A = this chain, B = another copy of it.
Amino acid sequence: MTASGATPPKFDQLFRHDFEQLLVWRRDVRHFRRDPVDGALIERLIAMACLSPSVGNSQPWRFVRITDLDRRAAVRANFAECNAEALQCYHGERARLYADLKLAGLDDAPEHLAVFCDHGSDTGHGLGSRTMPETKNFSVVAAVYTLWLAARIFGLGVGWVSILDPERVRASLDVPEEWSLIAYLCIGKPVEESDEPELVRLGWQEREAFEKVLFRR
């Protein structure tokens, strides 16, 4: 029994297994089918994202569904320029590899969702973010990731586009100056499922050994 009177859930062996499968099969998707996505489902995913942790319960996430074609085109152009500039940073074989990667599903994804952190809100009264102000942005990242996992459960793929000038995205979408862009998401049915990151499959970057990430003090 708890304060609210509700009984806490117990998560069994099957749920643990399926949750791990969810992690294994969640992908950063860049190849989308053009089939439209039910708007009510998108709102349901956003509502689930609002159950994410946030510093001081500040809930600084702001979700912007973009349907206007001119605004989408502005983001597309932003990506194209930033991606061309990024290509200039690579040389030889790696430049060829980079040029061959598909790094955004902006053209085909039926749903575009920009997610911002509202730094102009006093919700949460600053608790927990005085010495680490970046934790407000981190709260929004948690919300993005909740939405991502939830989308995969419903058979949708999410692609996080970060090859963008974030200030220009903010201007293109005409949102308040106190909002900072955390993620620009493409959402839709994926062309294929995979248990391996596309960047692994295409030889860009392997998975790291576990020993490289775990330390003791």
Interface residues of A (CB under 8 A from B): 2-4, 6, 8-9, 11, 15-16, 18-26, 28, 43, 46-48, 50-53, 55-59, 61-68, 71, 82, 85-86, 89-90, 94, 98, 101, 103, 114, 123-132, 134-135, 137-138, 141-142, 145-146, 148-150, 152-154, 160, 162-166, 173-175, 181-183, 192-197, 199-201, 204-205, 207-208, 210, 213-217
Q: Are B67 and A8 in contact (CB under 8 A)?
A: no
Which one of A19, A90, A182 has the highest number of Cβ atoms from chain B below 10 Å of its Cβ?
A19
Given contact pairs A141-B142, A196-B3, A51 touches B23 in the complex (Cβ within 8 A): yes
Residues of B within 8 A of A197 (CB): 57
Residues of B within 8 A of A214 (CB): 43, 46, 63, 65
Instruction: State A55–B166 Cα separation when bound (angstroms).
Output: 15
Q: Are B47 and A210 in contact (CB under 8 A)?
A: yes
Q: Are B16 and A205 in contact (CB under 8 A)?
A: no
Q: Are B46 and A200 in contact (CB under 8 A)?
A: no
A2 interface neighbour in B23, B48, B94, B192, Cβ under 8 Å: B192
